[in-house]
Amino acid sequence: MFAEQMNEVVFHVDVNSAYLAWEAVDRLQHGSPVDLRNLTAVIGGDEASRHGIVLAKSGPAKKYGILTGETLYAARQRCPGLIVIPPRYHLYMQCSSALIDILRQYSPVVQQYSIDEAFISCYLPAKDPQEGVKTAHRLKEQVKQELGFTVNVGIGPNKLLAKMASEFEKPDKVHTLFHHEMSDKMWPLPIDELFFVGRATARKLRGYGIYTIGALAALDPALVHAWLKKPGLLIWQYANGKDYSQVTEQGPPIKSIGNSNTIAFDVTDRDTAHQILLALTETAAMRLRAIDQCTRVVAVAIRSHELFTYRHQRKVQTPLDSTSLIWHQACQLFDESWKGEPIRHLGVHLSELCGNDFYQLSIFDQHNEKLSRLDQTIDLLRSRFGNSSVFRGCFAHSPIRPLMGGVLQEQEEEYPMMSSQL
């Protein structure tokens, strides 16, 4: 007998209003009589720390015109009775992991795209073109029944079209977007709804009279290249439904690590700025060592209280993974670039990463190995006893947290700091 012919299709699974949905489900599971998804509610940052933006919104809040990414102040202007819930990232990571576990029941090849999105590759019988839709509905209903939140599932021949399909009508929907459906479903859409087209690119294209995805798809690619250079060719390919990337469990290689923080007060002195840079470097360097990499380029970003941002970077002679040595570079960069104005936001960025298994040490860099061993010991203690189990003495009586950025900041707020100091 002949083997049944199978076709590969790609699913893109996207959680509807993820942070708010996960918060609502957790509260219902712990006895709450109300569902946040039915209220005018948002997940929002800490306004006291100047992180006051909307991270996720409910359906009723959306009807007031509230947008993800806008300030909570602006959101309250539209809806004075708005309910604001602080984020709980550890909960969101648990919900994301539970979602991935279900997706693995449908395919061994699952690529997590973000905390609330994933691609899966499925091989389905070619003789039944509707099998993909049926499978997607089963998946969607299983997530709803077992985890309590809803997802959109987009189906397509590649990752691009599957992702575009999942963005169609929400929530709790299944949509397809195959090449023969592009003229009806994708090409009439506004140009800024095409994946990878940001506000600046959309503005440029509209300036050339290109308002829809279909209008971009119909252009000569040489003309798009003349307008937008190499990125223009990529978005032209996307407009024509072309995407050659594969669904793979292994994500793309990490090319850089960044860590930044909006500070709860205006920083006006060098010593405080250096201490904040140390807290940012601690977190960034831990992440660097966790993937067994070193950095060749260290950069510092400064944003003033008037929201003017500038950046200064340097390529180091010897690749680094030591917190102390990276911080030393960051402080030098800061001192060389700071103009003396009050600072609202600071960032440390590490790029041109390389493996830490071998690099050439100069005769002046032998102490790097001792510093690296010290950092590795600290990383081990933090992994076993929590990120707040060991911290530097300069933070003992300081309002500045010893580790800044990412979910670490929230973890420090939840779990009281232990007494070990460096």
What is the set of active-site residues? 117
Measuring CA to CA, how many Å separate 412 from each of 23, 46, 302, 389? 20, 15, 24, 10
User: What phi, psi does 279 have (nearest 5°)?
Assistant: -65, -40
- Please check whether residue 9 is in contact with residue 120, taking contact to mean a CB–CB distance below 8 angstroms: no
Beta-carbon neighbour count of residue 327 at 10 Å?
23
CA-wise closest residue to 169 among 190, 153, 147:
153
Range 254-287 burial, b when 16+ CB lie within 10 A, else e = eeebebbbbbeeebeeeebbbbbbbbbbbbbbbb
Side by side, the strands of the sheet bearing 6-15 are: 110-114, 117-125, 6-15, 151-156, 174-176
Interatomic CA distance for residues 55 and 42, integer angstroms:
7
- Please check whether residue 123 is in contact with residue 247, taking contact to mean a CB–CB distance below 8 angstroms: no
